[in-house]
């Protein structure tokens, strides 16, 4: 949703709510109970952008606000919202492991042994034997020399891109890359050149514009988080070799979904040796929180000592690390989970298409149901929730204006009965809103 101005469609559809209470910006200074007054922002120029921002308030006034919805249960195929069971079709828990008893037991054991946190960064006092164990197991699994853990996936992309690309060097980035990659590229000292989404001809033209001997890295998502398609990695790798460029793949949505033992996009294409850096997160298939970068030992050692988002951030908590270790071992030992995920994806995808919905070029358990209108997207989301189905609305800046969609994502633990129930609700609401 736009953080500056509402779209024309939304602006014309919203009526100004009848508000009898003055907004916080117009209230007089409030006493906080101990004799001090709250600092007022109503006349400070810096906060003008805050006072001008009305988009969220307008959507709330319509009763369609779809963000920060409160869930009061575990992230599973069904969740509890407002005391009611709701079918979850909007989670990134692709393997359905977030509520697995084995993982919860591993978390409990880690907290008992190590406590609740590390009280420092990996660089100083925050490296546990548990961190080293996870890095070693991840490296063997993803077929790289070394792995480095970060506290979040966002920090990985922010820290790696900004550290690896120096002055007079270049980043070539897909226009549909995740926001964390966008911000990492912005922080680098080099120049970022964007190319059309998954357009290898456009990438080739960009590469041809650059000096042959310049440092350059192609940075892309493996699986694109909104569109659900897969990067054309074989052609990208061919171009990288031709132009002496490094390759980094953000595989946040590829891990647990593609490749041998769920090892991701490079594994899916058999190109692990041709992708120099592989990034992954733990908040999706691996049922925890955090992220990692995998590569050759020398590069990982360089990042250990130069990546600010690692050096100056507290390390992953013992509970998070233990959860990843348990989830990784389950994923490797239970390949039937990934197989079931793809069966579920096929059933939902064919069902949506047969109903008349447009899913674009999705090739994965991420199924974008295109609505092409912001207000209708919010209405669709709200009506599905009223019918007991949770999905995620995606509007600008998550996707370009005119490409608004509902993001459906499947879990290995969904049953066919749940999927068919979801399809029934999509059919009902889609017809009601004139989308199909």
Active site residues: 225, 253, 284
- Cα 264 to its chain centre, rounded Å, is 15
Sheet strands (E) in 282-419: 291-295, 366-370, 389-390, 392-394, 405-409
Per DSSP, the three-state class of 411 is coil
Q: Are 59 and 1 in contact (CB under 8 A)?
A: yes
Residue 356 contacts by C-beta under 8 Å, 6 or more apart in sequence?
Answer: 430, 436
CB atoms within 10 A of CB 82: 10
* Cα–Cα distance, 77 to 79 (Å, whole number): 7
The set of long-range contacts for 3-10, using a CB threshold of 8 Å and a minimum separation of 24, is 3/53, 3/55, 3/397, 4/49, 4/52, 4/53, 4/55, 5/55, 6/54, 6/55, 6/58, 7/374, 7/396, 7/401, 9/373, 9/374, 9/375, 10/55, 10/58, 10/59, 10/374, 10/375
* Cα–Cα distance, 382 to 414 (Å, whole number): 22
| DSSP secondary structure letter of residue 37 | B
Closest CA to 365 of 69, 75, 91, 88: 91
* Cα–Cα distance, 181 to 321 (Å, whole number): 23
Closest CA to 277 of 239, 220, 236: 220
Residue 4 contacts by C-beta under 8 Å, 6 or more apart in sequence?
Answer: 49, 52, 53, 55
> Measuring CA to CA, how many Å separate 151 from each of 292, 359, 436?
8, 33, 43
- Greatest alpha-carbon pair distance for the chain in Å reads 69
| DSSP secondary structure letter of residue 260 | G
Closest CA to 95 of 297, 345, 316, 363: 345
* Cα–Cα distance, 100 to 97 (Å, whole number): 5
* Cα–Cα distance, 436 to 426 (Å, whole number): 10
Q: Which residue has the tokens 């390390």?
A: 315
């Amino acid at each position: 949703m736009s953080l500056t101005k509402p779209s024309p469609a939304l602006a014309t559809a919203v009526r100004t709510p009848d508000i009898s209470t003055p907004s916080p910006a117009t209230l007089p200074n409030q006493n906080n109970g101990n004799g001090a007054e709250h600092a007022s922002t109503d006349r400070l120029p810096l906060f003008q952008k805050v006072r001008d921002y009305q988009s969220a308030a307008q959507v709330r006034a319509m009763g369609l606000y779809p963000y920060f919805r409160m869930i009061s249960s575990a992230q599973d195929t069904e969740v509890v919202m407002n005391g009611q069971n709701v079918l979850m079709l909007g989670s990134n828990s692709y393997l359905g492991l977030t509520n697995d008893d084995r993982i919860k037991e591993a978390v409990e054991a880690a907290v008992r042994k190590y406590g609740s946190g590390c009280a420092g960064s990996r660089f100083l006092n925050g490296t546990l034997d548990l961190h080293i164990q996870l890095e070693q197991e991840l490296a063997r699994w993803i077929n790289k020399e070394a792995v480095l853990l970060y506290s979040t996936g966002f920090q990985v992309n922010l820290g790696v891109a900004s550290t690896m690309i120096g002055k007079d060097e270049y980043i070539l980035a897909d226009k549909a890359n995740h926001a964390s990659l966008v911000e990492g590229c912005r922080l680098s000292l080099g120049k970022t050149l964007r190319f059309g989404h998954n357009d290898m001809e456009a990438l080739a033209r960009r590469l041809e514009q650059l000096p042959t001997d310049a440092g350059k890295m192609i940075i892309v998502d493996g699986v694109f988080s909104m569109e659900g398609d897969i990067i054309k990695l074989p052609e990208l790798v061919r171009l990288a070799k031709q132009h002496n460029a490094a390759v980094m793949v953000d595989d946040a949505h590829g891990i647990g979904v593609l490749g041998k033992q769920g090892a991701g996009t490079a594994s899916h294409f058999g190109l692990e040796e041709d992708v120099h850096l592989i990034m992954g997160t733990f908040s999706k298939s691996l049922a925890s929180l955090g992220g990692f970068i995998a590569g050759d030992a020398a590069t990982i050692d360089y990042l250990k000592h130069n990546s600010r988002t690692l050096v100056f951030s507290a390390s992953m908590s013992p509970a998070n690390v233990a959860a990843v270790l348990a989830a990784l071992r389950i994923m490797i030992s239970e390949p039937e989970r990934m197989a079931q995920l793809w069966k579920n994806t096929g059933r939902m995808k064919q069902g949506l298409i047969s109903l008349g919905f447009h899913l674009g070029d999705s090739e994965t358990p991420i199924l974008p149901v295109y609505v092409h209108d912001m207000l209708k997207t919010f209405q669709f989301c709200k009506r599905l929730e009223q019918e007991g189905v949770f999905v995620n609305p995606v509007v600008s800046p998550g996707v370009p204006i005119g490409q608004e969609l509902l993001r459906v994502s499947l879990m290995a633990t969904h049953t066919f009965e749940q999927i068919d129930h979801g399809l029934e609700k999509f059919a009902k609401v889609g017809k009601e809103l004139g989308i199909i």
